[in-house]
Amino acid sequence: MQSPPITVRELERADLPLLNRWRNDPGQIANLGAGFRFVSLEAESRWFDGYQGARANNVRLAVCAPDGAMIGVVYLLDIHWVHREAEFAIWIAEPAWRGRSCGAQATRLAIAHAFDDLNLQRLRLAVLPHNEAALRLYRRVGFRQEGLSRKAAYKQGQWHDVVQMGLLRDEYVPEAA
């Protein structure tokens, strides 16, 4: 199902209660690389303060539905200005918006920002092998598998491999997202 156009904007302090609700839902975290842990709203606020102090090397964007409601996040993290690279991450957290091309739209917007506005040369990401929807999207826009970190993520009492992927500016296929 195709969704209406989504937008991205910088994450704001007012977004923290919703982000905190998502982070405290174990089902939400199942396909993400990080393990589940409970996060208080106070800890979330301190995390946001840390982001504000590190904005020069991190871009944290809210993914918004046409009505402006936040439905997920997309990040460019640990930007290295000499090597011109960053870590890419995306999370469409609102279940009603999954499978409607929102992740593809947000991915396109964030990658265009990375390459066209920030003049980055390379993006990297890590994804769990069972997250097939994410793997399909990443491959469609040009990410290539660069490696496999064996038993690198501990989730729900089990160790999981993590697929390492990378995308160079000249490999990006915007129309395929």
Domain 7-176 has CATH 3.30.70.1230: no
Residue extents of the structural domains in the chain: 7-176
**Residue 138 known to be catalytic:** yes
- What is the per-residue pLDDT across 112-142, written as a single tens digit (0 to 9) for each? 999 999 999 999 999 999 999 999 999 999 9
User: Model's pTM, two decimal places?
Assistant: 0.91
Residue that is written with structure tokens 């997309």 in the block: 74
Beta bridge partners of 61: 10, 74
The strand order across the sheet containing 158-168 reads 7-10, 59-64, 70-80, 85-92, 122-127, 158-168, 144-155
Which among 51, 75, 138, 154 is annotated as catalytic? 138
**Mean pLDDT for the stretch of residues 86-91:** 96
* Structural contact between residues 18 and 70, judged by C-beta atoms closer than 8 angstroms: yes
Token code pair at residue 123: 């993006």
Q: Under DSSP, is residue 43 helix (H, G, I), strand (E, B) or coil?
A: helix
pLDDT per position as a tens digit, 3-54:
679 999 999 999 999 999 999 988 887 777 777 889 999 999 999 999 999 9
Angle between helices 102-112 and 132-141 (to 10 degrees): 40
